[in-house]
Structure formats: C-alpha cells, structure tokens
Structure 1
Amino acid sequence: MSRRADPCHDKPRGECPGAFVCGHSPAVREETAMHDHRRLGRELGLFDTDPLIGAGLPYWLPDGAAVRHALEEYIRDAERRAGYRHVYSPVLGKRELYEISGHWAHYSDDMFPPMELGGEQVVLRPSLCPHHALIYRSRSRSHRELPLRMAELGGMYRSELSGVLGGLTRVRAIQLNDAHIFCTLDQVAEEARGALEMIGRAYRALGITPVRHRLSLPGPGGKYVAAPELWERSTALLTEVLDGSGLPYEAAEGEAAFYGPKIDVQVADGVGREATLSTVQVDFHQPRQFDLHYIGADGAKHRPVMVHRSIIGSVERAVAHLLERHGGAFPAWLAPTQVAVLPVAEAQLPVAEAVVRRCLDLGLRADLAAPDRGTLGARVREARLVPYQAVIGPREAADDRIALRLRDGRRLPPQPAGAVLDRVRALVDAHGTELWDGPADAA
C-alpha cells in the first residue's frame, strides 16, 4: 500500500507508531489499535507467526482455519453457480514460463529467486494466470466452449521486503481467489459486468462496503507491456463496463497491471487507509504470448481475450479486512463458532452435550461452554462474539427447548430445540448479515 493511501502521509516521521508515518491524535491511534487485525487475530486465536517459519508467513490456528474454510467454501460455491470450473495447478513453474508471460521482464523484482532443479531453473509463481493459460491451450478449443470460466483458489508467492510486511495484509505466501475467463471480444464486457456483480453480492454477504471503484491505468516510469493498441482496447472495454454499471469511479494512473488496465474495488480501514480487495482485468497480452486460440464458427483460428478477476482477493487480506470491519463479530455464516451451548448447571450438561451433537450433525460449528468454565454470566461474556448462545436451564432440559440469546443482546423465549437449530441453519445458509429475521426481546 502506498503512503499516499494514508490520510496523514505528509506528517513528519515518528509522530504515529505503526505501519504508516502520520500525525494522528492519541485518540485516533488508540481507535486504530483497537481495530488492528494483527492484535485481534492473536487475541481471538485466529493466526500467529513464528520467526522459525519467517516474516510474512503467518500460520492459521483452528478458529482462523474455520473462518478461512467458510470463506473459501462460500466463494467456490458462488463460482460454481456462476458457471466456473475449478482447477488445481502447481505453485512452481520453469523460469521460461514467466519469461513468456512477461512476469520475468516486468515483475521479477517481486519474485523469489530461481531454484536449480535437474539442470533447469524453477520459480515460485507470483501469479496463477500463466498456469491457466497453459491449461486452456492443453487442447483444441471451439467457440462453442466460450466463455470458458476457469477458477482456482491457489497459492502464489511474492518476495516482499521485510519492512512492508504486516499481519495478513502484506504476506509472502498468498492464497488468491483467482479466475480467468477466456472469451471472444464480443463477450468481454458481459463477463466483466458479471464479475462486478459477483463482487457486489459477496460484499453484501460479508458486510463490506467499498469506498470506491478505481479504473487503474498505466503511469509514467512503470514497467508495462509496450503495446499501445492493446492498452487502448482494454481501457475502452473497462470504461464501458464501469459506465454501464452506474458505479461511480475514478481513474488512477500508475496502478495498472504490467499487461493491462484493471478495475480495482477499494476498501478502507477505520482511519481511511485504502487497499485493493477485488479486481477485474482485461488482458490481450498473455493470449498473444501463449498463442492461445479457438476455432470460430467460420472454421478459422481466432485469438481469445483473457479476463482476470478476483471476487474476494487474497484470503489473507479479506480476513484482515473482515476482522477490522467487524471487530471479530463475523457474520454468523463466517463465525468460527456459530453456536455456544450454555447449560446453567451440571445437571443440564448431558442435554447440552446432545445439543452440541445436533448442531454438528446440522453442519453448525458449536462449542460447549460447560459450568466448570465459570458462572453463566461469565460464560455469556466469554461467548460475546458468538452469534447464537443456546442457554439450557432445568425447564429447557425437561422440555427439549432452548432459550436463545443473540450476540446483539436480543433474547428469544424458550422454543423447541429442533426448530431453533433448523432456523439457525437456514440463516447461516442464507449467507446474510442479519442474526434473526423474527421478533426477539431486547436484553
């Protein structure tokens, strides 16, 4: 992230500790620290680091892995519904692959050094697109197959300098929600619009509001592919998509990919520092570099266009932003623990254990907060970030009922356990941000 993304980037060095040099007041610095995903992630047991693994290489703890899995499951399902086919590709490739794609000439400063292997040089990939181009060209393609939407949630690696690494936002090993759409020129605008609509749906499910959409263009001094006519065509197509979407946007020079312009969806943290989370790009360069083609209705070979798109960006940056956006109170479908089961006393423990098993059978992530973990009030406070707290007292245990407390303080009268858990499951499946869609009493 550039210093200009910080509202106080022009302040003297040393006035504000942390990732940015700025002159925020103590109150603003305290507010920023409270919502810092690095602090929250460690306090909530989501992720951590170890010097023996290395800087910029966080590991995921069980609760963080649960959040990550739910996020990955959501995006894979959304992609399947939108007609994407999923693939897996290796995280290594020959240096020659990236020379053909253009990464070696334009991006090698951000790549890890080659490794000698059997007389050849192999490289940790900085991007998934060259692999997907090879998968596309692995067999003959017909115009009837297009658009061909190829998706992968895969690893890529960036040789980031130690000074810019931080938490989950700048890392060296990245799990990217990536996809490449191979299509005809006439299909580009519609595919790009479809990607923007998918981004909008995902943001609503995640409770994210973008601060702006940016048309990212080349700027002076950058390493870009020298093909003016391709840049003009790509820029015109993306401009058409943005104008047709009705979304306000701004053009920004110096933010393009080396091979083409892109639409970047910008999000911001609590003090206004921006980051790109999602992107849509139009690429004429790599189809030409890899000599991709399809057989048209006329029986001749034609060059496809490659649309790059990422709906939630990297899993790491998405979770970092969600942590700061929600303060650890994730939407119910994403929460590491969705239901906390709280027996009032030891006598209700067997019934509570059975409720946990019923939750697990329904695919809900549940935790038993047994009486040996403290008073009921203390356990309720401990589970304050859990969307649903199922309290079971003597009456509830005798009648197979649950008194449900919602994270926002609302309470539901005791209801049959099966009906309550089925309703929670339905709300989770809806991938919304509302905890309950019916009447409930305020605490």
Structure 2
Amino acid sequence: MYDHRKLGRELGLFDTDPLIGAGLPYWLPDGAIVRHSLEEYIRSAERRAGYRHVYSPVLGKRELYEISGHWAHYDEDMYPPMDIGGEQVVLRPSLCPHHAVMYRARSHSYRELPLRMAELGAMYRSELSGVLGGLTRVRCIQLNDAHIFCTLDQVADEAAGALALIADAYRAMGIEGARYRLSLPGAGGKYVAAPEMWQRASKILAEVLDGAGVAYEAVEGEAAFYGPKIDVQVRDHAGRESTLSTVQVDFHQPEQFDLHYVGADGGKHRPVMVHRSIIGSVERAVAHVIELHGGAFPAWLAPVQVAVLPISSAEDAAAAQLCDRLLDMGLRAQVLDADGGSLGARVRESRLVPYQFILGPAESANGEVSVRLRDGRRLAAQPVGNAVAHVRELVEGYDTRLWID
C-alpha cells in the first residue's frame, strides 16, 4: 500500500495550507474529479435502491443537539456554540438530528415506510491537532449518510439492504479484505442508559450479520452513544484499522424527537431509525482508494480515463476530433500531442491513465485506433467506435477490469 498523504500531493489530488487550517484539506482539480465520481456513484446507487436525497443546513441550534443527545454524550467532539441573534448555534457533528426533524415536519402513514432519506452533507468534528492527518482524520467531513425510518419488522431487511450496497460499492472501488465488527456499548456514561433498547438493537444487527454470512467480531465500547452498529473496517498503508462504512439501529432518537407514523389500526406508532453510510466519509474513502491503487484508479474513478496520443503532428487534428468525441460520450479525455515529446515519453507521462488511444497514419486513414492499456497490454488496431463504446461500457458499469476480450 501507498501513503495517501504523500501520493495524493504528488499526484495533485489535494493539499493543505496553514492559512486554511489543520485538518481542512482542499481538493485540486484531479482530486475533485475522483471525489465527484465517487459521490455520483453513491447517489446513483442510492436512487436505484429507493432513497430520496435531501439537503440540510450545516448549523443547528444548541437545543437540537440537546434533544438528540449529542450535547450530553458527544460534546467533546463538537465545536463551541456561536451566539447569533440571541441564539446559540452549533456546527453540526452529525446529520441525523436534521433528518429526524425533517421526518417530523410531515405526517406519515405505515404505507410510506420504509422512508429512506439520504444526503451527502458536511459535518464538523473538533479533532485534536495531534490526530489529524491527510484525508483520514479531518475537521470538516463530507459524509455519505442516510436515515431509514421504518417499522420494527422492516429493520432487519433495511440493514441487510445497506450491507448489500456496501458490498457493491467495495467491488466497484476494488476494496477487498474488509473486516466486519459488531460494535457494542461499554462501561461508563458515554452511552444512553436503556438496557432493553441496547439488547433489542444488538440482537437485530447480529442476526443481520449472521444472515449475510460474513465473519465478524463483537467489540464492546465502540457503539454510537444512541445504539449499536455494524462497522466495516479497512486498513491503511501502515496497517492501522479504521471504520469506513456503518449500519446502525437507533430506537433512541425517534423517542427523543417524538417521531410517529399512523399504523394500519389508525393509531400512532414509533418508527425505528436505521442509520447507514455506504462509503463513509468521502475523504476517508478517497484516502483508501489512493493507497489501495497507488493512483492507478479503476477507470470510472480516474481523473483522465483516455489519453489520445498522435504519433506525429500530422495526426494532431484527428486526435483532437477523437478527444472531442470521447468528451461528448461522457468520458474524461485529453490529447498529448507530438509537441510533448516522443511517443514513449508521452506513454510514460500517462502511465496512470487506464486507456491510451494511439493514432498513427494508418489508424487515422482507416478510422481506427490502437489501444494500449495501463497494465502494458497492447491491442490490435480496431474501429474507433468499437474502442470508445467498449471503454464507455466498462466505465458506466463501474467495472474494475480494464478490458474484456
């Protein structure tokens, strides 16, 4: 594995500046493409799975977090409140209180459930300077978050569905060897005091893991303050383990916010809140794929997907037309023309680009292109349309394979 902090800067993906502050990285153009591609992947996957996307403010009144329990159980990780217009407002440490009040703003029938509310939203954690590093520990986090409001008998299926989305996302990102952990409460006042609630939620998640057929370890002291969770653990370049994805069952916040739905009997019933994050924070997800792939990202994530290389200046015009065609097809492409040096030098310059389309006199005359893959394979000349369609199919299918013969 590579160190994403070093490689990310070398590749021009992200950087930091003392004037902006520690733990607040900024994204450079190529890094922004990787981030955007990952965000679009998860939005698309969530839409297909029945989620509806929302936006919510990054600020909330202190009272919001007092009701949710964050102020009592999570205040050490929160920034101090700001006095604005006679009210105290806080940078949010989590999105769930906002989603709870958004649910509460409308009446709901059991026919609407499960109601799946998703957001790619910013949240803020007051991390100590000594633990900050690269993209893995930051103070402003872009979280792929969602909250499912459902009946008790729907909880297991919703949690299992989230695990399936996580597995799909990991396949697309090329992540293998993830470890599953059932995170349970430990001793002390960090957790909401409700033994029956904890027992019921922990039992559901254990059954979901057993049903998924994945090996897992139960660990005390790693739960959220309001409920147990499934944590999907990955390792970085130094062997350090961290949580990338989570699925949580929450009976606490629906009670705190007095959430209801109208049941088939016409009475009011309390929903259960399932929290889930498929790729976790975008920052940590990008850090992991940088280290995992060494910058040679799967084609759908690559900042440049196709490099067009004319052999000589005589093919420059044809190369520019081919590049435009690729861009029109929704692919990220650029021309490395003959003024950039020898063909070999330009091939080396684009070594991390998944596909190199090479145009010589014969290819240009015949409407063909020679394809060189990032792994060194060279394919026979083929019609331009075939090559473009094949690359587009692989990219749109989030395939980690470079080519399918």
Structure 1 match to 2:374: 407
Please say if 1:419 is aligned against 2:358. Answer: no
Q: 2:316 aligns with which of 345, 349, 368?
A: 349
Structure 2 match to 1:110: 77
Q: How far apart are the structure 2 equivalents of 1:399 and 1:46?
A: 38
In the TM superposition, what are the counterparts of 1:251-270 in structure 2 within 5 Å? Answer: 251-270=218-237
Task: Give the deviation of 1:80 after TM superposition.
Answer: 0.3
Q: How far apart are the structure 2 equivalents of 1:372 and 1:109?
A: 57
Structure 2 match to 1:7: none
Q: 2:129 aligns with which of 162, 165, 173?
A: 162
Q: How far apart are the structure 2 equivalents of 1:410 and 1:324?
A: 24
SS at match of 1:116: strand
In the TM superposition, what are the counterparts of 1:346-385 in structure 2 within 5 Å? Answer: 346-385=313-352
Q: What is the one-letter code of the residue matched to 1:95?
A: R
SS at match of 1:413: strand
Structure 1 match to 2:112: 145
Structure 2 match to 1:225: 192
Check the 8 A contact 1:267/1:275 in 2, yes or no: yes
Please say if 1:189 is aligned against 2:156. Answer: yes
Deviations 1:288-317 (A, max 9, x none): 000000000000000000000000000000
Q: What is the one-letter code of the residue matched to 1:143?
A: Y
SS at match of 2:378: coil
Please say if 1:128 is aligned against 2:95. Answer: yes
Task: Give the deviation of 1:372 after TM superposition.
Answer: 1.8
**Seq. identity, %:** 75
Task: Give the deviation of 1:269 after TM superposition.
Answer: 2.1
Q: How far apart are the structure 1 equivalents of 2:363 and 2:127?
A: 55
Q: What is the one-letter code of the residue matched to 1:348?
A: E
Q: What is the one-letter code of the residue matched to 1:363?
A: G
CA RMSD of aligned residues (A): 0.8
Task: Give the deviation of 1:270 after TM superposition.
Answer: 3.5
Check the 8 A contact 1:210/1:265 in 2, yes or no: no
Gaps of 5+ in 2: none
Deviations 1:415-436 (A, max 9, x none): 1111111111011011110000
Q: How far apart are the structure 2 equivalents of 1:374 and 1:62?
A: 24
Structure 2 match to 1:398: 365
Structure 2 match to 1:332: 299
Check the 8 A contact 1:150/1:181 in 2, yes or no: yes
Structure 2 match to 1:16: none
The count of aligned residue pairs is 405
Q: How far apart are the structure 2 equivalents of 1:165 and 1:338?
A: 32
Q: What is the one-letter code of the residue matched to 1:62?
A: P
Structure 2 match to 1:318: 285
SS at match of 1:291: coil
Task: Give the deviation of 1:222 after TM superposition.
Answer: 5.2
Check the 8 A contact 1:46/1:63 in 2, yes or no: yes
Q: 1:176 aligns with which of 143, 164, 172?
A: 143
Q: How far apart are the structure 1 equivalents of 2:30 and 2:167?
A: 26
Q: What is the one-letter code of the residue matched to 2:227?
A: G
Structure 1 match to 2:27: 60
Gaps of 5+ in 1: 1-31, 439-443
Q: 1:119 aligns with which of 68, 86, 94?
A: 86
SS at match of 2:143: strand
Structure 2 match to 1:6: none
Please say if 1:281 is aligned against 2:248. Answer: yes
Q: 1:309 aligns with which of 257, 273, 276?
A: 276
Deviations 1:167-208 (A, max 9, x none): 000000000000000000000000000000110011011100
Task: Give the deviation of 1:219 after TM superposition.
Answer: 1.3
Q: How far apart are the structure 2 equivalents of 1:348 and 1:432?
A: 31
Task: Give the deviation of 1:271 after TM superposition.
Answer: 3.9
Give the 4+ runs in structure 1 shifted more than 3 A: none
Q: How far apart are the structure 2 equivalents of 1:373 and 1:240?
A: 59
Please say if 1:39 is aligned against 2:6. Answer: yes
Check the 8 A contact 1:222/1:254 in 2, yes or no: no
Q: How far apart are the structure 2 equivalents of 1:372 and 1:230?
A: 68
Structure 1 match to 2:166: 199
Q: Which moved more, 1:214-223 or 1:95-104?
A: 214-223
Deviations 1:368-424 (A, max 9, x none): 111222211011011111000011111111112110100111111111111111111
Q: How far apart are the structure 2 equivalents of 1:48 and 1:257?
A: 31
Deviations 1:320-368 (A, max 9, x none): 0000001111000111100001111111111101111001000000011
TM-score for both structures, normalised by structure 2: 0.99
Deviations 1:255-302 (A, max 9, x none): 100001000001112442111000000000000000000000000000
Q: How far apart are the structure 1 equivalents of 2:89 and 2:324?
A: 48
Structure 2 match to 1:441: none
Structure 2 match to 1:101: 68
Task: Give the deviation of 1:42 after TM superposition.
Answer: 0.5
SS at match of 1:412: strand
Deviations 1:182-239 (A, max 9, x none): 0000000000000001100110111001431000011123511111111111101101
Distance 1:343 1:222, change over 3 A: farther
Q: How far apart are the structure 1 equivalents of 2:38 and 2:178?
A: 22
